Amino acid sequence: MSFPNHRPRRLRTTPAMRRLTAETRLAPADLILPAFIREGLTEPSPISSMPGVVQHTTESLKRAAAEAVGLGVGGIMLFGVPAVRDAQGTASLDPEGVLNKAIRDVKAEVGDDLVIMGDVCLDEFTDHGHCGVLDSDGYVDNDATLEIYGRMAVAQADAGAHVLGPSGMMDGQIAVIRQALEESGHKNTAVLAYAAKYASAFYGPFREAVDSQLKGDRRTYQMDAANRREAILEVELDLEEGADMVMVKPAMSYLDILADVAAMSPVPVSAYQISGEYAMIEAAAANGWIDRRGAITESVLGIKRAGADTVLTYWASELAGWLKES
Ligand code: PBG
């Protein structure tokens, strides 16, 4: 009888052997926790489509940020839900507005021990729910929106954000934000460009998380799920415009895009495991259909294996806790 020349199973024999030969490792420092704060709340408010995730009060957000620091989590990405919205998203510019204040509060709590990121986008602040302002035909007006993004970026940098995350997919947004930051003296505030952000059905639960007013969809600005090489163009443009890091979003249905971007990007690559990805795994686990911890760990490992340096995930703190244990 002839024997196999190679027995890949040898490296799978024991947990120690598998650990030694693992090609990809998860670390708390690679994880970024997205968090929501809602103006005027007195108690944290559960988000029904994202079991375990809440809209925070100032106090509970500060606690979540401090907990993330203790667990070694790399960063926190903040989203604000304002009490009052208008067509221009004015509350996004107010230094006392919910998001700018949250950035300041988190900064006061954790200082530089956690990378504090702010969402630079108008959808939480507009009464129509779009990521930009509308022209007279109801079309999202790219260049009028850019002007507001520049001011929003400065407001968040003034509040103490280390990194800004423009997520609106307007053309030229990185250049405008970079220029506004330089002109206002925020030369060390970094930009994490949501470079390849796709129009996705998996954003559903996020819309509940921010009480989105959106009717219709974002297909005139977010990318079409059918497109692969266009992601490279979006990343190249953002790099030319001065992006310090680039992101692919969503993650699990876009691992090919992530691998492409990881292969060409000279800057760190993030992937955002979004609300719908979170909800699917939580729902299946709640039904006893999959092993929750196994599925969460495997899903984030898969995103890293595809090429992400950092992963935004609503499980960041819980996963970091598991990683610390083991
Ligand atoms: C826009 C923004 C969205 C998400 C992050 N930033 C919503 C959208 O594009 O519709 C979605 C994140 C998630 O689903 O977890 N500010």
Q: What is the pLDDT of residues 223-259, one digit of tens each?
A: 999 999 999 999 999 999 999 999 999 999 999 999 9
Q: Is residue 14 part of a domain?
A: no
> What's the CATH number where 72 sits?
3.20.20.70
d(CA 321, CA 326): 9
Q: Does ligand 1 have an atom closer than 6 angstroms to the CB of 252?
A: no
Q: Is residue 309 part of a domain?
A: yes
Q: Does ligand 1 have an atom closer than 6 angstroms to the CB of 123?
A: yes
State the pLDDT at residue 326.
83
Q: Which of 62, 101, 197, 324 is catalytic?
A: 197
Q: Does ligand 1 have an atom closer than 6 angstroms to the CB of 203?
A: yes
Residue matched to tokens 């997205």: 34
For residue 249, indicate whether it is catalytic.
Answer: yes
Domain that includes residue 264, residue range:
26-325
If we measure between CA atoms, which residue out of 211, 208, 207 comes closest to residue 84? 211
| Residue 138: exposure state from Cβ atoms within 10 A (0-12, 13-18, ≥19) | exposed
Contacts of residue 325, Cβ cutoff 8 Å, sequence gap at least 6 = none
- What's the 225 CA to ligand 1 centre distance in angstroms? 15
Q: Is residue 174 part of a domain?
A: yes
pLDDT-above-90 percentage for the chain: 99
Q: Is residue 9 part of a domain?
A: no
Tell me how many domains the chain contains.
1
Q: Indicate which residue's Cα is closest to atom 12 of ligand 1.
A: 274
Q: Indicate which residue's Cα is closest to atom 1 of ligand 1.
A: 167
pLDDT-derived band at 1 (thresholds 50, 70, 90) equals confident
The ipTM of this complex is 0.96
Q: pLDDT digits over 277-313, tens only?
A: 999 999 999 999 999 999 999 999 999 999 999 999 9
Q: Is residue 15 part of a domain?
A: no
Q: Is residue 4 part of a domain?
A: no
Q: DSSP 3-state assignment of 115?
A: strand
Cβ atoms of 32 and 319 closer than 8 Å:
no
For residue 107, indicate whether it is catalytic.
Answer: no
Q: Is residue 58 part of a domain?
A: yes
Q: Is residue 7 part of a domain?
A: no
The number of the ligand 1 atom at minimal distance from the alpha carbon of 122 is 16
Q: Indicate which residue's Cα is closest to atom 2 of ligand 1.
A: 167
